[in-house]
Structure 1
Amino acid sequence: MNNEPVALIVIDMQRGMKEPDAEKRNNLDAERNIQSLLAAWRRAGWPVVSVRHISRAKDSPFWPGQPGAEFQPELAPLDTEHVVEKSVPDAFIQSGLERWLHVRGISSVVLVGVSTNNSVESTARTAGNLGFSTIVVSDATFTFAKTDYAGVWRSADEVHAMSLANIDREYASIMSTRDVLGLL
């Protein structure tokens, strides 16, 4: 990475993401990897953006005021760090994130968080389309198993791998935590 600050964008690492069955997700070390990246960004004094999903559905764990909508304590933003709230998967939609980055002269972003095939992929696509140099950290993101459109059950690893393949080299570069830390 060059001398220009790179924003670390931590997507939807909220308490409600701990509720789903851990057996149905991948990358069980993702939170630890995100913590490593957060520590490195904070040491460097680079910008950190925490994205919080606020649901429009009252029965969601992400409804405002619910415990699930709160950040996981070990990944919570510092008072000096920017927080973006969104009600759709894409962190750029109606959030002011693009403007916040441009005002600070930031043209490169690193994305981590959940879920790979939803909010991470959606945000990566928009970041790439808006011209940001974008990295998605493969082992600092995770997703959940699900049934595909043809009715075939896909493991979380399969869903994760396909999501990364969808954005690789077209919208973002895919890297590991170790490789990103090596660039610092």
Structure 2
Amino acid sequence: MATEHRALLLIDFQAAFDDPAAGSRNNPDAERNALLLLARWRETNRPIVHIQHSSTEPGSALRPDSPGHAFKPGFEPAAGEMWLSKRVNSAFIGTPLETALDRAGIRSLVIAGLTTDHCVSTSTRMAGNLGFDVILAGDATAAFERQAVDGTRIDAETVHGVNLASLDHEFCRVYDTETIVASICG
């Protein structure tokens, strides 16, 4: 893993994902790992981008007028850190993210966020397709259980694992937080 300058992209670390109605979730340490990345990026004065989902869907817990829209504690953007609101799964659609990164000369990203199979996967795929060199912090993401088309239940760990496997070496490289911190910020 190269040690070049990379931006940390934190996707949708929002209160809505703490609602038990969301169902069973894997990786209870995702937020702790993401906060370790965030702390290290801040300590080394590296660029950080916070993405916040602002749903327009009626009844969504991620609507701007909902308590679930708020950043989880510790994930609030600090002065000088970029914050962008998105309305769809990709952090690149309908936002100035690509332009802002280009203007800053950033072509390398480390991504962490919620959820692995939705906004994290979509944003990672787009970043890779747009030519960014992407590292995904696999242990700083999490997924919820899903129901398959045939009605069977897919547990959260399987959803998470299949998505990481689909992304790795196609759109990004998946590493754990410890490896990222040691290699990039060491």
Tell me the TM-score range normalised by the shorter chain: over 0.9
Whichever residue aligns with residue 156 of structure 2, its letter is A
Q: Secondary structure of 2:61's partner?
A: coil
What is the distance in 1 between the residues matched to 2:80 and 2:161? 34
Sequence identity percentage? 38
Whichever residue aligns with residue 32 of structure 1, its letter is R
Whichever residue aligns with residue 97 of structure 2, its letter is L
Alignment of 1:72-83 (within 5 A): 72-83=72-83
- Work out whether 1:101 is the aligned partner of 2:101: yes
Alignment of 1:140-151 (within 5 A): 140-151=140-151
Alignment of 1:62-81 (within 5 A): 62-81=62-81
- Report what 1:86 is aligned to: 86
- Work out whether 1:61 is the aligned partner of 2:53: no
Q: Secondary structure of 2:101's partner?
A: helix
What displacement does 1:15 show? 1.0
What is the distance in 2 between the residues matched to 1:178 and 1:113? 16
Residue-by-residue CA offset, 1:43-71 (whole Å, 9 max, x unaligned): 11001111000011131111112211111
What displacement does 1:5 show? 2.2
- Report what 1:135 is aligned to: 135
- Report what 1:12 is aligned to: 12
- Report what 1:111 is aligned to: 111
What is the distance in 2 between the residues matched to 1:118 and 1:20? 18
Equivalent pairs, count: 184
What displacement does 1:21 show? 5.1
Whichever residue aligns with residue 181 of structure 2, its letter is L
TM-score (norm 1): 0.95
What displacement does 1:4 show? 3.9
What displacement does 1:149 show? 2.4
What is the distance in 1 between the residues matched to 2:96 and 2:15? 24
CA RMSD of aligned residues (A): 1.4
What displacement does 1:3 show? 5.8
Long gaps (5+) in structure 1: none
TM-score (norm 2): 0.94
Whichever residue aligns with residue 114 of structure 1, its letter is L
Conservation of the 8 A alpha-carbon contact between 1:4 and 1:106: no
What is the distance in 2 between the residues matched to 1:142 and 1:56? 23
What is the distance in 2 between the residues matched to 1:178 and 1:69? 29
What displacement does 1:84 show? 1.0
Between 56-65 and 78-87, report the one with greater CA deviation. Answer: 56-65
